[in-house]
């Protein structure tokens, strides 16, 4: 009789342990599913940020190119003005030299 009671108790314990492990397995599956959902969301957000970053980078490249062309045009204008100043100075110097030689 005692052996039967011990066997019954061991069977009962084994059943509770199995039920406990089944519950833990279920909880791990829920946690794993949540991690997968979070990973998918994080990947989606990362890809969205990556896309936005690429859009901003392209916009900045366009803006820098525009600024470069504006700067190049401004430098070209300054160079033309400097060339005109040199022409005026040389013409004036030639005129003064010619006046001095003629007198």
3-state secondary structure of 40: helix
Q: What is the pLDDT of residue 6?
A: 76
What are the tens digits of pLDDT across the range 32-84? 999 999 999 999 999 999 999 999 999 999 999 999 999 999 999 999 999 99
Q: How confident is the model at residue 10 (pLDDT cuts 50, 70, 90)?
A: confident
The count of other CB atoms within 10 Å of the CB of residue 31 is: 10
Nearest CA to 90 out of 82, 79, 78 is that of: 82
- The DSSP 8-state label assigned to residue 85 in this structure reads H
| C-alpha span between 11 and 26 (Å, rounded) | 22
Enter the tokens of residue 8.
């019954």
Question: What is the pTM for the complete model shown?
Answer: 0.53
What are the tens digits of pLDDT across the range 11-40? 888 889 888 889 999 999 999 999 999 999
| C-alpha span between 45 and 81 (Å, rounded) | 53
């Amino acid at each position: 009789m005692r052996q039967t009671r011990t066997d019954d108790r061991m069977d009962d314990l084994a059943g509770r342990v199995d039920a406990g492990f089944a519950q833990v397995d279920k909880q791990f599956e829920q946690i794993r599913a949540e991690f997968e959902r979070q990973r998918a969301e994080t990947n989606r957000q990362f890809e969205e940020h990556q896309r936005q970053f690429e859009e901003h980078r392209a916009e900045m490249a366009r803006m820098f190119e525009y600024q470069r062309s504006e700067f190049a045009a401004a430098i070209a204008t300054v160079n033309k003005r400097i060339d005109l100043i040199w022409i005026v100075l040389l013409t004036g110097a030639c005129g003064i030299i010619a006046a001095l030689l003629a007198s």
